[in-house]
Amino acid sequence: MSQTPTQTTLPLLPGPLSDGSMATLGVLGGGQLGRMFVHAAQALGYETVVLDPDAGSPAGHVSQHFIHADYRDAQALRDLATLAGAVTTEFENVPAESLAALAADRPVSPMADCVAIAQDRIREKAHFTRCAAAGGVAPAPYAVIESEADLADVPDALLPGVLKTARLGYDGKGQARVATRDELAAAWQQMGRVACVLEQLLPLAAECSVIVARGRDGQVVSLPVQRNLHRDGILAVTEVFEDNVPPALAQQARAATEQIATELGYVGVLCVEYFVLQDGRLVVNEMAPRPHNSGHYTVDACDVSQFELQVRTLAGLPLTAPRQHSAAVMLNLLGDLWFDVVDGEDVPRTPPWPALLALPGAHLHLYGKAEARRGRKMGHLTFTAADAASVRATAQQACALLGLEAF
């Protein structure tokens, strides 16, 4: 394309414009989060453009425009800036330098600097520690390991602990539990001696997360606190209803998340995950500069979803505080559900969709992925009801139908 991008003036309004064109929003990344962003943008009256290196991109299949290219492809980034009036990202491992390059011509949210901090556990922990010093929530005690000297200096009090690579870890990948110094040294060696963070292993009672949206004017709105259950490092269940987390802890988590976003000068949707310890204390774990798996229930249980908030922050539209109108439970659907094991071999099957959709308050969301693989996120199933007891009972029925462990 030979066009030169013109400067975008915010707000970028939806629907047909005075010149007969349609405003277009861009997204780097074409997985399920990008797909749901595209749906939200289109519902508001925008066209969309997706850039993704996967020709089978779920978001690319539903977008008006799709650029099949690497995230670092300079021409592809120029094409994206030509088509899109503003650009966001669907996941944190998009190169921060690509976001910075786009920001020379277009509003980009979240900003490259914020994404770069979320990509690096060392910088992320430092930011959490600064926020804690100003009255926020502290991370677990930790040490940075970048050299043999750092390894030798690890305090005994941090063992047993969890060793995590500083970069490119997600869904439990790039992590190892270690109980002794020998195990720590072996795990660091196995990880390629890359920069890591060792976190003290703490006695957990629960996990939760908070999603906020922050506009360019500094306004922040928050979603309810989500109570989460992870299995094998992957989110399995999210429960959102009154008193799913003690009210004082919920208030503390929401305030801490707003502080984390504000101190970053963040623009966009941000999720921060927390641990609730057995003694009742709250510990901040990590952040994701994007919509989050634990917020998928908002599409069905809130009047403004996390994806609509992403569109609004990107386009410079007003933010309104989301209101949850139904108690909700979200079940993550992994590719494992598409297989039975017979004589030790995987045999393909189709999950029992008719029986599941016959349950009251069932909302099925499949992500358009053509191939099911074990551990791959294929979709989610949200249940809504008037109260916590009803929605939990129905979700447990769904678990039994799917062969999932009860929660």
* Residue stretches of the annotated binding site for ATP: 121, 164, 169-175, 199-202, 207, 230, 285-286
**Whole-angstrom distance, CA of residue 290 vs CA of residue 94:** 11
Any residues with CB less than 8 A from the CB of 269 and at least 6 apart, and which?
A: 211, 212, 213, 290, 291, 306, 309, 310, 313
CA 397 to chain CA mean position, Å:
27
**Whole-angstrom distance, CA of residue 405 vs CA of residue 151:** 39
CB 207 within 8 A of CB 276: yes
CB 59 within 8 A of CB 35: yes
Q: Which residues are annotated as a binding site?
A: 121, 164, 169-175, 199-202, 207, 230, 285-286
**Whole-angstrom distance, CA of residue 295 vs CA of residue 306:** 7
CB 131 within 8 A of CB 148: no
Residue type, 16: P
